[in-house]
Amino acid sequence: MGHREALLVGAKRCLAEKGYARTTARDIVAASGTNLASIGYHFGSKEALLNQALIEAIGDWGTELARTLSTHAVSDLEPMAQFEVIWTEIIALFAKHRQVLLASFEAISHVDHVPAVKEILSSGLEQGRQGLAQMFGTVAEGAGEAESRAVGSFYQALLTGLLAQWLIDPEHSPSGHDVATALRIITARHRAGDLTEKSA
């Protein structure tokens, strides 16, 4: 493994162990077995290295998320039961990727001061919207960009909200069953409202 790859591995380890803001260049050097000059040579700065490591770490999370969703893409379950199973699996992934996901939340506090971080997170959000809309398979084939983006944004909001609750209080955060139950209640009430309006 060359110094560049070793630095990225070390930086990702530091993100997981120390977080985004608390990681120093010396931390990365110690974790990677390289030297301070290597950071400047390969990445220009510690911040650029950390940003690249964050991109890759979030990409690793996204890859595993996609794998989880594709596992349940074809199912004999009815749609709401499948929805519950998928979210149960996603929430189970939070524990495995906790430190990296926490680091990504921590990076949010830097978006107003570090344009590169804002660009990374904005790009991740947009890719997440598109990917979630496709992976959940709830957008009709041939749907327009606006419809796909709206559905993807809904799933992204749900994912981010569940993750935030889990990071703060995993013991009391919603389960996949809770999310599915809530959606059943909301859908039933909206349908009841539609029927009431039509009969009026």
Please report the domains of the chain, with CATH numbers, ordered by start residue: 55-199 (1.10.357)
Dihedral sign, Cα of residue 161, residue 16, residue 93, residue 51: positive
Per DSSP, 174 falls in state P
What are the pLDDT digits (tens) for 105-161?
888 887 888 787 788 788 878 877 877 777 776 655 666 788 888 888 999 999 999
What are the pLDDT digits (tens) for 160-186?
999 999 999 999 999 999 999 999 999
Whose CA is closest to 12, among 43, 63, 55, 62? 55
- 147-172: b or e for each residue (b if 16 or more CB lie within 10 Å)? ebbebbbebbebbeebbeebeeeeee
Contact 21, 47 (CB under 8 A): no
